[in-house]
Structure 1
Amino acid sequence: MKRWMKLAAGAVAISLATAGCAGSGGSGNTAQSNANAPQQLSGELTVWLMTGSAPESLTNALHKEFQDANPGVKIKYEIQQWNGIQQKLTTALASQTPPDVIEIGNTQTPAFAAQGVLADLTDSVNDLNGSQWLKGLKDSATFDGKTYGMPFYAANREVIYRKDLFEQAGITTPPASRDEWLAAIDKLKAKFGSDPDFQALYLPGQYWYSLLSFIWDEGGDIAKAEGKNFKSTLNSTEAKAGLEFYKKLVDASGTKAPKDNDEATPQQAGIYGGGKVAMFIGTPGEVATAAKTDPTIKDKTAAFAIPGKSAGKSAPVFLGGSNLAIPLNSKNTAAAKAYLKLLSGQKYQTEVAKGGYVPGTSTDISALSSDPFASVMAKAAQNGRAVPSSPKWGEVESGQNPLKDMMTAYLTGKKSIDQATTDANAALDKLLAGS
């Protein structure tokens, strides 16, 4: 480092001396002009985006505009598959020749940031439309007070329901509070409950993404930051209240979903597509999955935001999505930042929205307004949250998730709420501490 500083100082001295010898001719003005000229970018820019994240129309237009503005840069665009991407990213980021722009899941960002393999983008936030960033994703891109990613897109959950069944049960407007939601369940059961296969709400016992909404709505959280570390708060009064409401919803719903499994086993959209379920909590994309079972079901389906405790205010939702980052060892950081700057603008964020996602760096969700499912999702996303930005969070989701164990234990009556939350709190603390 000292040797580099001496060489740099010598270069500056030579430059000044040369300028001083130029006299009153035009070379001094030329030097000033060159100093103020935009930086000319060059070299190869390798971009890794995940399959399904960006439509070809977006990337084609983006890459053409970028290369027209930067003819010295060659973009090497590679679409990656989700299967096996964790290991592929780990290997690439540890190398001396990683890609220059990567897409990573929002729960992966803190882990890679903690490993010191991502470039610090804190000083570039304003250039990347930072004032418009979706808050929940912004939090996921932050680690130890610094920013290591740019929000790309998000999706979140809503209540997907059968319009025809609601009408037949006399429910004229979607529920706008928890109490109205429970009342709607009662009306649906009164109308269709004679059918032993009917379920007013399909709600699995380990659907912890949905549980988060109720914990957050009560003012609680699953963990709180303590310096660089996180401390579990599953045994707080607020977290317990959220879990209690979840049980109340399960008990009232008539759900036949397993209490010891999540929404993916069995796939809840397929159950909804069977025609005996009035509601489930899911993402807009699950409507298309349900239509594989019954092609007519989409026209019978609508959505409303997960109701909150207070009337007219929806519950906070978990934002799942992606961030874009620049590997620390990128050989073309300047071009990578310019690429992100272009992508963060309104033009391309609108294209992200047209693809059915909530844009990560724009508060303009008008492109989603015509879609009855995406529009509800986008509005709810403005009250979205992220899981704790702990580098250990990936181990929570991929391993023996304490939240799932807690939910099953409490819902089945194997443990009291105090015991279930105390045990889960201790287990989560161990995972977050890395022991």
Structure 2
Amino acid sequence: MKRKLIAAIGVAVMVAGVAACGSDDKGSGKAAAPKEITVWLTVDAQKNWPELVKQADDAFTAKHKGVKIRHEYYEWTAKNQKLDAVLATKKVPDVVEMGNTETLGYLVKGAFAPVDKSKFENSGDWLDALEGSVTYNGKTYGVPYYAGARVGTWRKDVAKAAGVTKAPTTWAELTDALDKIQKKNGDKFSAWYQPSRDWYTALAFVKDAGGDVAKEDGGKWTATLSDPKSIEGLKTWKSVLDTYFHGDKNKDESDRYIVYGQGKSALIYGASWEGGAAADPKTDKTGKLKDNLETFALPGPNGDLLPNFIGGSDLVIPAKSAAQDLAADWINGFTDSAAQKVLISKGNLPNAKSLLAPLKDDPATAASARANENTWFVPTAPGWLQVEKKQILQNMLNDIAVGKASIEDATKAADEQINAVINAG
């Protein structure tokens, strides 16, 4: 996917950053061996699979005696701003978690060091969408960490109380069930808790209707949110919010699992780990979620599954890192088959096709695996990272949700903003 982009737009070969040298060891001219590595991860790892972090740390320190590991955790919304600042200095982290939609913009600028793909377990079988996100000009610049499916998660007890006894398989069944749940619980309850700024879901409706964010023609990308089919999808999305979401329409999805744990909603559509996180005793304020949650691949309005965004994370090594070999070794222990088993147990999808196949036969993971039968990804444009950084989509959706702008006016304005940055490398 990324290779096609590079071929299409003819981006010049990047000049890779030179790794910073360590200080001479007592004037011998030999660089001193690093005594510490710094690993940046998002708070997902800190909150939801800390045992995997410890597992990787223990394997690393057993092999590299005396080398310390310093972890820093960031919210997705703050990470890149911090990363941009430190990449301009000589003191950079040695491992950084990147969302797979974020990576290309940094690769174009030479921010990350190439890695030897053969040194990482399952590298011959990585998921295409993740491998493409770390591939640039025929070289590999990172390691896929995990993939994410988006699934419907609802409370069976709430559904049953409203007369619904099985998970929906069609859009008509879904809306009928939500109508019954909404009527049963009143207008202070959200039959579907759907934060307006969650652009992954909104764009799933756009894709379902045959629309898109942007299209490429002759190497140039042009925004298409104001096209009729895109508007059709956004009208369906808006009707979902107006009918079933009775909460703060200025919200994003970052704390969705926490809000869900408060017991004032029946359904969420989000990352497959969110239901489990909501059911954690620290989050579940109802005491009922653990035994009452059910996940399913969400049906879409046009007769297929709602198109599922292929999200996920990569692990990269900044080009200025003075501990690149150590960083690669830590990454290997954090992404190998044993690590993938932990991630699967938390509701994520693994980074390799061979590990994905068996999940469709396991009731605990079947919904996530099936959801990826109908998928989409963001435009592989050189300026896509700027679209995300400027939160153009989130702001457009927020304006629509709260009635600040009509769908037609909001999409036209968003298209103009996207066109200003999407082709800039």
TM-score, normalising length: structure 1: 0.71
Q: Are the aligned partners of 1:199 and 1:276 in contact in 2 as well (CA < 8 Å)?
A: yes
Q: Are the aligned partners of 1:135 and 1:384 in contact in 2 as well (CA < 8 Å)?
A: no
1:299 aligns with 2:291: yes
Deviation at 1:323, TM superposition (A): 0.8
| 91 and 229 in structure 1: CA distance in 2 versus 1, 3 angstrom threshold | farther
1:381-400 equivalences in 2 (<5 Å)? 381=372, 383-390=374-381, 392-399=383-390
| 141 and 234 in structure 1: CA distance in 2 versus 1, 3 angstrom threshold | farther
Q: Give secondary structure in 2 for the equivalent of 1:299.
A: coil
1:239 aligns with 2:230: yes
1:208 aligns with 2:202: no
Deviation at 1:275, TM superposition (A): 3.8
Q: Give secondary structure in 1 for the equivalent of 2:145.
A: strand
Deviation at 1:271, TM superposition (A): 4.8
Equivalent position to 1:105, from 99, 103, 106: 99
Q: Give secondary structure in 2 for the equivalent of 1:116.
A: coil
Aligned to 2:266: 278
Aligned to 1:20: none
**In structure 1, what residue type is equivalent to 2:106?**
F
Q: Give secondary structure in 1 for the equivalent of 2:291.
A: helix
Query: Counterparts of 1:111 and 1:66 in 2: how far apart (Å)?
Result: 30
Equivalent position to 2:168, from 175, 184, 187: 175
1:162 aligns with 2:155: yes
Equivalent position to 1:223, from 211, 214, 223: 214
Q: Give secondary structure in 2 for the equivalent of 1:81.
A: strand
Size of the aligned set, in residue pairs, is: 383
**In structure 2, what residue type is equivalent to 1:118?**
F
Aligned to 1:80: 72
Deviations 1:211-233 (A, max 9, x none): 12222333433134567764322
Q: Are the aligned partners of 2:225 and 2:414 in contact in 1 as well (CA < 8 Å)?
A: yes
Deviation at 1:162, TM superposition (A): 1.7
Q: Are the aligned partners of 2:101 and 2:133 in contact in 1 as well (CA < 8 Å)?
A: yes
Q: Are the aligned partners of 2:359 and 2:369 in contact in 1 as well (CA < 8 Å)?
A: no
Deviations 1:198-249 (A, max 9, x none): 4322333333221122223334331345677643221234322321221232
Aligned to 2:84: 90
| 309 and 363 in structure 1: CA distance in 2 versus 1, 3 angstrom threshold | farther
Deviation at 1:318, TM superposition (A): 2.8
Query: Counterparts of 1:274 and 1:52 in 2: how far apart (Å)?
Result: 20
Q: Which runs of 5+ in 2 are unaligned?
A: 1-31
TM-score, normalising length: structure 2: 0.73
Aligned to 1:23: none
Query: Counterparts of 1:151 and 1:221 in 2: how far apart (Å)?
Result: 26
**In structure 2, what residue type is equivalent to 1:232?**
A
**In structure 1, what residue type is equivalent to 2:45?**
S
1:240-279 equivalences in 2 (<5 Å)? 240-253=231-244, 255-263=245-253, 268-269=256-257, 271-279=259-267
**In structure 2, what residue type is equivalent to 1:114?**
V
| 94 and 375 in structure 1: CA distance in 2 versus 1, 3 angstrom threshold | farther
* Identity across matched positions, percent: 30
- Cα RMSD after superposing both structures: 4.0
More off after superposition, 124-133 vs 173-182: 124-133
Q: Which runs of 5+ in 1 are unaligned?
A: 1-41
